[in-house]
């Protein structure tokens, strides 16, 4: 039976207080209120659009509501699966963002079950660009979640597979990593990395949610620029005319930090143990490629696909240079340093 065209197409966005979810909400609002396109004329499958944003607590939901990015705000704690039915009530589409702990697998499984039971017609999942055949736990978690989603909601899913968030240069593990001109970045500073800005991911999610039939059953690999962390920091320093010093942190140091912050948080510690192991595998692969590279031959860099952003969003992707110009506030306390 056809849907009532007067009933809104309701989109539920998780992670509204975070980087990707926040950008998704902002781009949804921008597209619904664009000049010449008032919100009542933007439709999905012939129905007006309604946005619901979630936050983990009432206090965070109130703060999110102050931004005016959605029509309604609901509290969603992924550790409380008995609340999922109520949160999903009336929702046609979902943008799902995992928690980055070992609990992500059962949380996602239970939420997907609830979404299927609620009759959700489009489930956009923030997954990852998954390197195959590597024995890293959180890579397997992503693969299992994606496979379950495809089985439980056949032809009703879209996967977003991003690389390394540009924002990871300046923040990770819940902490800002820029202070007095010093950036303590996670990772090998000279290894080539496939970057993607969180705003690019958020806008791709918004575009998919507003045009589900164009994206059902598709995986969008989101890798827009390949460079090293050292090169990225030099670019940021040049663009902002701000001296910056790069101090690399190993994955073991980051794990030890997480252990010190909360030694009882087994799920989060398991996730950072996976990051530590993944970096070890990555470095071993990089060293092997360097040894195998003929003398004088250029180093091989991994592929990127900036055309995905152009095709979906209708604009150029946000490069490290553009990102620096748009996010100068991260570096406002820089007083000096060297690269």
Asked if residue 72 belongs to a domain, the reply is yes
pLDDT at 3: 64
Q: What is the pLDDT of residues 245-287, one digit of tens each?
A: 999 887 788 778 777 777 766 666 777 777 777 776 666 666 6
Angle (deg, nearest 10), helices 104-117 and 137-152? 10
Among the residue ranges 33-47, 151-165, 176-190, the one predicted with the least confidence is 33-47
pLDDT at 266: 63
Beta bridge partners of 176: 171
pLDDT at 151: 97
Let me know if 158 is exposed, middle or buried by CB neighbors in 10 A (0-12, 13-18, 19+): buried
Asked if residue 331 belongs to a domain, the reply is no
Instruction: Give the mean pLDDT of 296-321.
Output: 91
Asked if residue 142 belongs to a domain, the reply is yes
Q: Distance between CA atoms of 145 and 123, rounded to whole angstroms?
A: 12
CATH code for position 146:
3.40.50.720
Instruction: Give the mean pLDDT of 137-164.
Output: 93
Q: Is the dihedral of CA 245, 249, 254, 256 positive or negative?
A: negative
Residue 250 CB coordination number (10 Å) = 15
Q: Specify the number of domains making up the chain.
A: 1
The closest alpha carbon to 100, from 172, 194, 205, 195, belongs to 172
The closest alpha carbon to 75, from 100, 102, 54, 50, belongs to 54
Average pLDDT, the chain: 87
Beta bridge partners of 8: none
Asked if residue 309 belongs to a domain, the reply is yes
Asked if residue 179 belongs to a domain, the reply is no
Are 323 and 196 a contacting pair, CB within 8 Å?
no
Asked if residue 130 belongs to a domain, the reply is yes
pLDDT at 161: 96
pLDDT at 125: 98
Q: Distance between CA atoms of 263 and 189, rounded to whole angstroms?
A: 28
Range of the domain at 155: 9-166+195-224+302-319
The distance from CA 219 to its chain's CA centroid, rounded to whole angstroms, is 14
pLDDT at 316: 97
C-alpha to C-alpha distances, 193 to 6, 91, 131, 277, 338, nearest whole angstrom: 47, 37, 13, 17, 22
pLDDT at 336: 40
Q: Distance between CA atoms of 278 and 126, rounded to whole angstroms?
A: 19
| Residue 154, SS3 per DSSP | coil
Q: Which residue has the higher pLDDT, 92 or 186?
A: 92
Asked if residue 275 belongs to a domain, the reply is no
pLDDT at 337: 37
C-alpha to C-alpha distances, 185 to 24, 166, 331, 332, nearest whole angstrom: 25, 11, 14, 17
Q: At residue 88, does pLDDT exceed 80?
A: yes
Confidence of residue 171 (pLDDT cuts 50, 70, 90): confident
> Residues near 261 by Cβ (< 8 Å), separated by ≥ 6?
173
| Residue 289, SS3 per DSSP | helix
């Amino acid at each position: 039976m056809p849907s009532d065209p007067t009933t809104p197409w309701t989109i539920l966005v998780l992670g509204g207080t975070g980087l990707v979810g926040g950008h998704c909400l902002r781009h949804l609002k921008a597209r619904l209120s664009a000049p010449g396109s008032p919100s009542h004329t933007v439709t999905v499958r012939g129905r007006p659009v309604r946005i619901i944003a979630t936050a983990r607590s009432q206090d965070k939901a109130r703060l999110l509501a102050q931004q005016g990015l959605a029509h309604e705000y609901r509290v969603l704690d992924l550790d409380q699966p008995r609340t999922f039915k109520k949160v999903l009530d009336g929702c046609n589409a979902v943008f799902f963002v995992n928690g980055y702990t070992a609990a992500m697998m059962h949380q996602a499984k239970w939420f997907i079950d609830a979404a299927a039971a609620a009759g959700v017609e489009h489930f956009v999942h923030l997954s990852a660009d998954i390197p195959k055949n590597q024995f890293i736990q959180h890579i397997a978690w992503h693969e299992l979640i994606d496979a379950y989603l495809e089985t439980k909601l056949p032809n009703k899913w879209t996967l977003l597979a991003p690389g390394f968030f540009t924002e990871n240069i300046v923040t990770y593990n819940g902490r800002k990593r820029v202070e007095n001109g010093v950036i303590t970045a996670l990772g090998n500073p000279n290894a080539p990395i496939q970057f993607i800005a969180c705003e690019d991911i958020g806008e791709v999610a918004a575009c998919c949610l507003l045009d589900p039939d164009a994206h059902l059953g598709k995986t969008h690999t989101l890798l827009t620029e390949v460079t090293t962390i050292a090169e990225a920091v030099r670019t940021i320093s040049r663009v902002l005319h701000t001296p910056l010093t790069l101090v690399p942190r190993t994955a073991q140091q980051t794990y030890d930090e997480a252990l010190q912050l909360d030694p009882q948080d087994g799920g989060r510690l398991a996730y950072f143990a996976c990051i530590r192991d993944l970096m070890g595998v990555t470095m071993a692969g990089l060293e092997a490629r360097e040894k195998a590279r003929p003398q004088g031959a250029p180093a091989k860099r991994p592929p990127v696909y900036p055309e995905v952003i152009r095709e979906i969003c209708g604009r150029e992707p946000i490069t490290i240079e553009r990102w620096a110009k748009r996010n100068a506030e991260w570096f406002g306390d820089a007083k000096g340093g060297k690269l």
